[in-house]
Amino acid sequence: MFKSKFVSFFIFLIFFIYTISPLYAPPILVARLITPLNIGQIIRGQISSTVTLDHVDNSIPIINPSSGGGAVYLMGAEEGVIHLRKGITGDSISNVVLSNYGTTLSNGTDTLILTGLTHNYTGQVFNANRRLTILVGAEIVVTDTQAGGIYTGTYDFSCIDAQGRTVNLNNLTITVEVIVLPSNTIVITEVVPVDFGMFRRSRDLDSTIILPPILNPIPMVTPIVGGATYAFGAFSGEISLVNGTPGTTIQNLSLQNYGILTGANQTMPVLNMTHDYMGATFDATGALTLQVGAEVFMDSHQRTRVYTGTYDIYLENSIGTPSTLTGLIINLEVVKGALPVTMTENVGMDFGVILYGALASTVELRSDSDASTVLIGDAQALGLGGTPPSSRGELVITAEPNTSINISFSTGDVLTGPGSTIPIYSFLHDSGNNPILLDATGNLTVQLGARVDITATQAEGDYAGTYNMIIDYS
């Protein structure tokens, strides 16, 4: 009787393990292609060119040579995106392999050299959602005799996770379109969109805003007093022209179809578009650069949001062959209330060369000059006579005009180097006591200094660190 019960229990236990334990097995690792690898549209050059699409987000193909008749990237590039799902949070993967892609892509009648594929995996782990993203890039060669058309190929992906689970994706596509233009047809590319930057609208007056077609533009507002207020972020549009005949000009250049800017059902009229072309010729590589500006109308009730619009460009080469590019970008952001504070560091603080002595010492970098001086101890500060010389810091603050701000600094900051850390503290500036009144431009240039403590046994070498400058409205 005892033996029979024992056998029955043993059989039940085996059956329980066999039937229940699979419910606790790790799920199958899943891989899914999110975005096919697309090198985009490449305009064939006059010489063979290597085109590299890196394995990073929003990568733009790098072309070598980048001038002198090399190929030109037009648009449409997207790195390959593969999502891994149902991994174990915190686990990594191994044996990441891109394979079976051969050495060429084909358009059916011609082949294009595929140098290789790359991926971005360097030890990243599955996130809290048990997911991991792999990006894939490629490198190709577009020869000077490459036929036009869409070239395609395939590759396989595989990897193993830390649980030993293998995943495979096969026949993933690679695509590139080669465009062959008639000789000397000018290729137009938008390098930088037209961007008015950020503005605070006037509550009382409508404003006209002009962004001039120059490098580093400052928008001009009418009326000057009481109108909209410019904050920061303006860029004139930059247009690249290539494949021109060296020494020739362009003609019939026009900026068209600019209409309005829109933002969440609100509009802003674009009154005019301008450019800086005054008859310049293509350089020895067949390249020419244009700057583009614009003029908009902002009413006193303009809603706060980002406004975006487009425009087109048309031009002809010296013998009348036309070129166009559509959908170029115009941006402007409207905010309300006080403008956000921005800071730009023009010069970093540099205490220069300090010779430590037999005693611990305190050295001060002044804010009213570039000199560094010893306040306590027997160290020597070479100051302006050292190599490198000492130099006070300089920052530019931009905020709401005619308002007051407070300046403060972080604490507990140190410089690090080959020896023990060096405390930096008692930050100084030349703008007076808080609150500090800004002028009608809203700009304030601040000269900065601080103190450091050097020990008598401080190790020789370079020391560096960072600090925070804190600005808030009074």
Per residue in 379-390, pLDDT (tens digit) is 888 877 888 888
pLDDT higher than threshold 60 for residue 16: no
User: Which helix (H) or strand (E) covers residue 17, if one does?
Assistant: helix 2-20
pLDDT higher than threshold 70 for residue 234: yes
H, E, C per residue of 86-102? CCCCCCCEEEEEEECCC
Spatial separation of the C-alpha atoms in residues 224 and 208, rounded to whole Å: 10
Q: Where are the beta strands (DSSP E) in 204-304?
A: 207-211, 220-222, 229-232, 237-242, 251-256, 260-263, 266-275, 288-298
Spatial separation of the C-alpha atoms in residues 237 and 293, rounded to whole Å: 6
Mean pLDDT to the nearest integer, 9-21? 37
Give the largest CA-CA distance in the chain.
110
Mean pLDDT to the nearest integer, 22-48? 83
Q: What percent of the chain has pLDDT over 90?
A: 59
Q: How far is CA 350 from the centre of its chain?
A: 28
CB atoms within 10 A of CB 150: 13
Q: Decide: helix, strand or coil at residue 28.
A: coil
Mean pLDDT to the nearest integer, 25-37? 86
Give me the pLDDT at residue 389, please.
87
Q: What is the DSSP letter of 129?
A: T
Mean pLDDT to the nearest integer, 86-98? 94
pLDDT higher than threshold 60 for residue 21: no
Q: Where are the beta strands (DSSP E) in 46-130?
A: 49-53, 62-64, 72-75, 80-85, 93-99, 104-106, 111-119
Mean pLDDT to the nearest integer, 103-128? 94
Per residue in 272-330, pLDDT (tens digit) is 999 999 999 999 878 899 999 999 999 988 888 999 999 999 999 999 999 999 999 99
Give me the pLDDT at residue 360, please.
92
Spatial separation of the C-alpha atoms in residues 189 and 67, rounded to whole Å: 14
Spatial separation of the C-alpha atoms in residues 230 and 233, rounded to whole Å: 9
DSSP assignments along 263-287, one per residue: ETTEEEEEEEEEE--SS----TTS-
Over the chain, what is the mean pLDDT? 88
Identify the structural domains of the chain with CATH numbers, from first to last: 30-179 (no CATH), 187-335 (2.60.40), 342-473 (2.60.40)
Burial 301-320 (b: 16+ CB within 10 A, else e): ebeebebbbbbbbbbebbee
Between 66 and 122, the higher pLDDT residue: 122
Per residue in 216-226, pLDDT (tens digit) is 899 999 988 77
Indicate the burial class of 65 (C-beta count within 10 angstroms; 0-12, 13-18, 19 or more): middle
Give me the pLDDT at residue 12, please.
39
Q: Decide: helix, strand or coil at residue 397.
A: strand
Give me the pLDDT at residue 25, please.
52
Q: Decide: helix, strand or coil at residue 19.
A: helix
